[in-house]
């Protein structure tokens, strides 16, 4: 799934948690589109949804009807969240969840060293 990424030492990585439309995702896949077996284009976020299969999460910009349901993608930096005093966590309205576009999430994961392209 991460055909053009390198795994990093788990002890050095920031832990993240993800939600899609309010539901916790057990995992997300970060991949590039494969054309004739070769990865091309920008990173994409793909999720596996029970009963539907794998779905690429987009930024909702190409909906033909604005009334259609949109993807709401969120993440929480679990490493930073765990360092906050318990009183702050309890008082937090958003509980540390931050709404992002798929591209913003890819940039956050890249800057945190969670994904790394081939050099």
pTM, two decimals, is: 0.78
Is 108 within 8 Å of 100 (Cβ atoms)?
Answer: yes
Compute the mean pLDDT over every residue in the chain, rounded to the nearest whole number: 84
pLDDT, residue 6, reads 39
pLDDT, residue 119, reads 43
Q: Which distant-in-sequence residues (6+ apart) come within 8 Å of 44 by Cβ?
A: 30, 31, 32, 33, 56, 57, 102
50-81 pLDDT, tens digit each:
888 888 888 877 778 878 788 899 999 999 99
- Give the three-state DSSP class for 78: helix
Q: Which distant-in-sequence residues (6+ apart) come within 8 Å of 73 by Cβ?
A: 18, 19, 20, 45, 57, 99, 100, 101, 102, 105
Separation between Cα atoms, residue 5 and residue 114, nearest integer Å: 9
Q: Show the tokens assigned to 8.
A: 């990093």
């Amino acid at each position: 799934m991460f055909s053009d990424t390198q795994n990093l030492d788990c002890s050095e990585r920031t832990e993240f948690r993800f939600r899609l439309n309010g539901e916790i995702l057990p995992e997300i896949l970060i991949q590039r589109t494969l054309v004739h077996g070769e990865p091309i284009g920008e990173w994409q976020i793909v999720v596996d949804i029970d009963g539907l299969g794998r779905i690429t999460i987009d930024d909702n910009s190409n909906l033909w009807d604005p009334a259609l349901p949109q993807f709401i993608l969120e993440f929480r930096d679990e490493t930073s969240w765990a360092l906050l005093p318990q009183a702050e966590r309890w008082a937090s309205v958003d509980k540390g969840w931050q709404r992002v576009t798929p591209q913003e999430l890819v940039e956050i994961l890249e800057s945190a060293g969670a994904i790394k392209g081939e050099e």
